[in-house]
Homo-oligomer: A and B are copies of this chain.
Amino acid sequence: MPISRREFLTTAGKSAIAAYPAMMALGLLKPAPAHAFELTGNGNNKHIIILGAGLSGMTAAYELGKLGYRCTILEARNRAGGRCWSIRKGATLQETGQPLQTAKFDEGLYFNAGPSRIPHHHALTLHYCKELGVPIQVYNNVNEAAYYFSEGKGPLSNKKIRIREIHNDVRGYITEMLAKAIDQHQVDAGLTKEDAQKIIEYLRAEGGLDIDKLYKASNRRGYIEDAGAGDKAGKIADPYKLADIIQSGLMDPDFYNVAEYTYELQMTMFQAIGGNDMIAKALEKKVAPLIRFGCEVSAIQNQPEGVKITYKDKFGEKQLEGDLCICTLPLPVLSNIQHNFSSDVSRAIDYIPYMITGKMGLQFKRRFWEEDEHIYGGITHTNNELTQIFYPSNDYLGKKGILIGYYNFHETADKVSALSLQQRQQLALEKGSLIHPQYAKEFETGFSISWHKTPYSMGGWALYNAETRQTLYKAMLQPDKQVYFAGEHMTYLNAWMAGAFESARSVVTAVHARVTDQRLKYPKA
């Protein structure tokens, strides 16, 4: 079954879940538990060492602080937030094997190098936005006015086609085929005559079919001359031919309706106003005194009672002892750190793969995609190295703007990441110009990131399948003696900020259960 990359990621590992009884299906979806996190008992000043000042580490420190723990967060970078990072003027990045990059965007402009989107059902992400006072706005993930662009393939190649045209043409042809088949009793779906008739009526409405159940196009796919005042009734084009659509690859996985259909990408979606790292910044304010920046961990040692962390800061190697440790380091990073974990945990750390992914932000003098092309937010999909172009869901009708010029994955991202920074930009501009010729005149400055080449991240997010969920993942669910593992990689919400939050709460609950129990056993602790 061909499914998209993202869909693969989000559905992988769930095939083993038994279908629930039909009775459950009759119930309403329960609201996710988005509310204050209230645990009883006191941490009694136990010292918890947290590795990594990303969302999960800071959230753990924030919640543990409320419970009476003493936390120290060791962070290798000189900034907090980890992958929750928005690129603004002055942001710097030195990828492995690349020169230092400094963002030269105008003040007030940014792009989200990490997570861009908050699904409406990620209740914990929205909960922290509310608790921390981070205002949100709609992330406009679905935009029928954006394009499909199939490079070098078929009769519709090298042509930017509004998504609504393909969506409505394909919907039209498919419903036409099925309506005809049902009508001519070619399909026996075990339906009554009345139900079959209802379905035909539905298909007509769904596909915009005419009275003869034929697809003829409608204004759903847009006008070639807009409707307006007076005698401007609007003019509609003919639909594309189905065979042309197929042969141009526009029904291939590159163009599946993933952006609308997956649970994670269904509208409504949100983003933090001003950049998603506003969430990280708001958390950082709560735990700022606990963070030690520029501390690169080199060893994690479980002790008979407690844990010892070895790290380097600018003054040299240091050691820090604590009662327990919460390690939120991404596994490719952790894999290079000395530890005395069990062989199962060690294997998991070394073998859980991470997503190879890259993004490039491109600043333009003018929001030509809005002014010239009426594209406000949303995503253009391509079959070339760009994979996607994201249009900003903020500052609509503004002067300048930053597009995400590419957002790619796997082999494509690997290939692009191997280019020099200058070559990456050239690629983004050349391929982007095929879709938006305005690039040439309006481009100002760009900034690219390859997450797997970014020190202290070394990947986009953890990738699991059904097998590794049962083996490698399970090995890390329990603490390795005094060390707990947290982060998006310790959840079924990989790649999402919600994973960091859910994981932090989960590990705080486990730590607190252990400590409050222990306190009874070892009152001196």
Residues of A at under 8 Å CB distance from B? 1-4, 7, 10-11, 13-14, 17, 19-22, 24-32, 34, 120-121, 123, 126, 129-130, 135-138, 140, 142-145, 159-160, 162, 164, 168, 170-171, 173-175, 177-178, 180-182, 186-187, 189, 191-192, 195, 198-199, 201-206, 208-211, 216-240, 242-243, 246-247, 251-253, 256-257, 261-263, 266-268, 270, 371-378, 393, 396-397, 469, 477, 490-493, 499, 502-503, 505-507
Interface of A is mostly: loop
Is there an interface contact between A261 and B208, defined as CB atoms closer than 8 Å?
A: yes
Given contacts A31-B373, A32-B226, A174-B206, 10 further A-B contacts (CB under 8 A): A1-B205, A25-B224, A25-B239, A28-B159, A145-B268, A174-B178, A178-B181, A221-B263, A229-B506, A230-B503
User: With a CB–CB cut-off of 8 A, which chain B residues contact A27?
Assistant: 224, 237
Please, which residues of chain B bring their CB within 8 A of the CB of A206?
Answer: 174, 256-257, 261
Q: Inside 8 A of A224's CB, which chain B residues have their CB?
A: 20, 24-25, 27, 29-30
Q: Measured between alpha carbons, how far is A344 from B72 in the docked complex, in Å? A: 83
Q: How near does chain B come to A121, taking the closest CB pair, in angstroms?
A: 5
Q: Are B219 and A14 in contact (CB under 8 A)?
A: yes
Give me 7 A-to-B residue pairs in the complex whose CB atoms sit less than 8 angstroms apart, sorted by A's number: A1-B209, A17-B233, A31-B374, A32-B374, A34-B371, A145-B266, A208-B261
Known contacts A138-B138, A228-B492, A267-B143, A251 near B25 by CB under 8 Å: no
Q: Which of B2, B3, B29 contacts A222 (CB 8 A)?
A: B29
The interface residues of chain B lying within 8 Å CB-to-CB of A159 are 26, 28
| CB–CB B268/A231 < 8 A | no
Residues on the B chain within 8 Å of A209, using CB: 1
A502 touches B20 (CB 8 A): no
Query: From A476, which residue of chain B is reached at the shortest CB distance?
Result: B230
Q: Is the CB of B30 within 8 A of A225?
A: yes
Q: Could you say which residues of chain B place their CB within 8 Å of the CB of A181?
A: 177-178, 181, 186-187
**Given contacts A20-B235, A191-B242, A229-B490, is CB(A251)–CB(B199) below 8 Å?**
yes
With contact pairs A202-B251, A227-B493 given, residues A164 and B218 touching in the complex (Cβ less than 8 Å): no
Chain B residues positioned under 8 Å from A221 (CB to CB):
263
8 closest pairs, A vs B, by CB? A229-B506, A25-B237, A227-B492, A138-B138, A186-B186, A144-B266, A229-B502, A202-B251
A204 touches B1 (CB 8 A): yes
Other-chain contact of A228, B235, B477, B493 (Cβ < 8 Å): B493
Expressed in whole angstroms, the minimum distance between the Cβ of A262 and any Cβ of chain B is 6
> A319: shortest Cβ distance to chain B, in Å?
30
How far apart are A469's CB and chain B's nearest CB, in angstroms? 7
The one of B143, B492, B503 in contact with A120, judged by C-beta atoms closer than 8 angstroms, is B143
Q: Which residues of B contact A375 (CB under 8 A)?
A: 120
Contact A253 B205 (CB under 8 A): yes
Write out the residue numbers on chain B whose beta carbons fall within 8 Å of the beta carbon of A17: 233-236
Cα distance, A144 to B507, chains bound together (Å) = 32
Contact call A145/B121, Cβ cutoff below 8 A: yes
Residues of B within 8 A of A7 (CB): 205
A47 to B231, alpha carbons, bound, how many Å?
27
Decide if B267 touches A142 in the complex (CB within 8 Å): yes
Q: Are B238 and A490 in contact (CB under 8 A)?
A: no
A230, B135: Cα distance in complex, Å = 29
Contacts of A503 in B (CB 8 A): 229-230
A12 to chain B, nearest CB (A): 11
A247/B195 in contact, CB under 8 A: yes
User: From residue A331, how far is it (CB to closest CB) to chain B in Å?
Assistant: 16
> A129: which B residues are within 8 A, CB to CB?
397
List B contacts of A268 (CB < 8 A): 140, 143, 145, 376-378
CB contact between A126 and one of B138, B195, B397 (< 8 Å): that residue:
B397
Bound-state Cα–Cα, A76 to B375, Å: 39
User: Distance in Å from the Cβ of A359 to the closest Cβ of chain B?
Assistant: 22
Q: A218 near B11 (CB under 8 angstroms)?
A: yes
Bound-complex Cα distance A28 to B14 (A): 41
Q: Which residues of chain B come closer than 8 Å to A228, judged between CB atoms?
A: 491-493, 502, 506
- In the complex the two chains form, what is the Cα distance from A70 to B70 in whole Å? 74
CA of A372 to CA of B266 in the docked complex: distance in angstroms? 19
Give bound CA distance, A439 to B236, whole Å.
45
Least CB separation from A243: chain B residue: B195
Partner of A267, one of B140, B262, B507: B140
In angstroms, Cα B499 to Cα A253, docked, is 39
Most buried by B among A181, A226, A247: A226
